[in-house]
Amino acid sequence: MVAPHPLIHRPRRLRRTEALRRLVKETELTVNDLIYPVFVMEGENIKQEIPSMPQCYRYSLDLLLKELQDVVNLGIKAIALFPLIADEKKDNQGTESYNPNGLVQRTVKAIKQEIPQLIVITDVALDPYSPYGHDGIVENGQILNDETVEVLVKMALSHAEAGADLVAPSDMMDGRIGAIRRALDVEGWINVGILAYSAKYASAYYGPFRDALASAPKFGDKQTYQMDIANSREAIKEIALDIEEGADLLMIKPALAYLDIIRRVRDYTHLPVVAYNVSGEYAMIKAAGQQGWIDEKKVILETLTSMKRAGADLILTYFAKEVALMLHH
């Protein structure tokens, strides 16, 4: 036996047993941190798997309600709702987006009737409603800002009327948080909150989501409104504006390739920070898992823990159900 080295600090002391490791754990993922994104479509008795997002489905409203009962039973507190809009309902002005009897509005009402305790977050953006797949009104190949904000305001109000707890503008038009906040207040929806997609990057990680909603841009890309992937200070500028304009929660999107942004925003603000673990991040893990190339469950937990460690309070993730199940065992 070698004589003990005269080491004062032995960090391994605290890693010796599972109990000690738990005692000094700094970050813990819980079911309260999870927001589950769900896709809804017209029809009855429909459950369609999204090819690039294994185990994620588009549901008709009847089956979605059943699915959400499971989600609630797992302890998940919130969902983010995304609609698949039929082509014939799409127009450049996004008219269908604020139809009081539209798919989102009917879905929110039904959820709030059957499962009132479930927090419903609605997406406010034109892309699922636009024949061009862009997040705004198109004119001569340009995306119009202020005209689009007017439509976003109508959409947000119709979501509030339907019973949404939080509206989540994901479009990146300038000034939309302030415009939506003012309109909600004027109409008496003072308790409807805003989850702002504040730092949303023009990312290639959204591909599978655009498959799910058939919402890929028909021309060009989204670089004139979503952020340049190379920028960090600009995220703080967007965050500062959204705080000033009245955001209640701030989102960073995507998450995995932007952990530095999550940390920077966490250090900058006292508001809750949400990380969007987007479709491409989900697809990569699922694909490698299906091949048996990684231990999928462990990689999921490691990935989501890294987002919390970086400073996220909440994680919007297609893994929410799986993770909730893992945490219960």
256 secondary structure, DSSP code: G
Q: Any contact of residue 278 with ligand PBG (CB under 6 A)?
A: yes
User: What is the widest separation between alpha-carbon atoms in the chain?
Assistant: 80
117 secondary structure, DSSP code: T
The residue among 268 and 299 lying less far from ligand PBG, judged by its C-beta, is 299
Q: Any contact of residue 209 with ligand PBG (CB under 6 A)?
A: yes
Q: How many CA atoms lie within 13 A of 313 on its CB side?
A: 13
Task: Choose the stretch contacting ligand PBG; rule: CB under 6 A; options: 2-10, 205-213, 255-263, 295-303.
Answer: 205-213
Q: Would residue 200 show up in a list of annotated catalytic residues for this protein? A: yes
The residue among 127 and 245 lying less far from ligand PBG, judged by its C-beta, is 127
Angle between helix 61-73 and helix 320-328 axes, rounded to 10 deg: 30
187 known ligand binder: no
Q: Any contact of residue 296 with ligand PBG (CB under 6 A)?
A: no
> Catalytic pick from 90, 200, 222, 286?
200
Q: Which two tokens stand for residue 311?
A: 């400073």
The residue among 1 and 131 lying less far from ligand PBG, judged by its C-beta, is 131
Three-state helix/strand/coil letters over 182-250: HHHHHCCCCCCEEEEEEEEECCHHHHHHHHHHCCCCCCCCCCCCCECCCCCHHHHHHHHHHHHHCCCEE
The residue among 74 and 125 lying less far from ligand PBG, judged by its C-beta, is 125
Q: Any contact of residue 274 with ligand PBG (CB under 6 A)?
A: no
> Binding marks (x or -) toward ligand PBG, 218..237, rule CB under 6 A?
----x---------------
The residue among 192 and 278 lying less far from ligand PBG, judged by its C-beta, is 278
- Report which of 195, 298, 287 is spatially closest to residue 249, judged by C-alpha positions: 195
Query: Looking at 59, 189, 206, 319, which residue binds ligand PBG (CB under 6 A)?
Result: 206
Q: How far is the CB of 138 from ligand PBG (least distance, A)?
A: 15
Q: Report the C-alpha gap between 179 and 149 in whole angstroms.
A: 7
> Catalytic pick from 90, 253, 286, 321?
253
Which amino acid makes up residue 279?
S
- Report which of 120, 265, 138 is spatially closest to residue 192, judged by C-alpha positions: 120
Q: Any contact of residue 170 with ligand PBG (CB under 6 A)?
A: yes
281 secondary structure, DSSP code: H
Q: Report the C-alpha gap between 176 and 184 in whole angstroms.
A: 12
Q: Any contact of residue 135 with ligand PBG (CB under 6 A)?
A: yes
Q: Would residue 89 show up in a list of annotated catalytic residues for this protein? A: no
Is residue 35 within 8 Å of 43, Cβ to Cβ?
Answer: no
Task: Choose the stretch contacting ligand PBG; rule: CB under 6 A; options: 119-127, 184-192, 267-275, 283-291.
Answer: 119-127
Q: Any contact of residue 125 with ligand PBG (CB under 6 A)?
A: yes
Binding-site residues, please?
238
Binding site for ligand PBG (CB under 6 A): 123, 125, 127, 135, 170-171, 206, 209-210, 222, 278-279
- Catalytic residue numbers read 200, 253
Annotated binding site for Mg(2+): 238
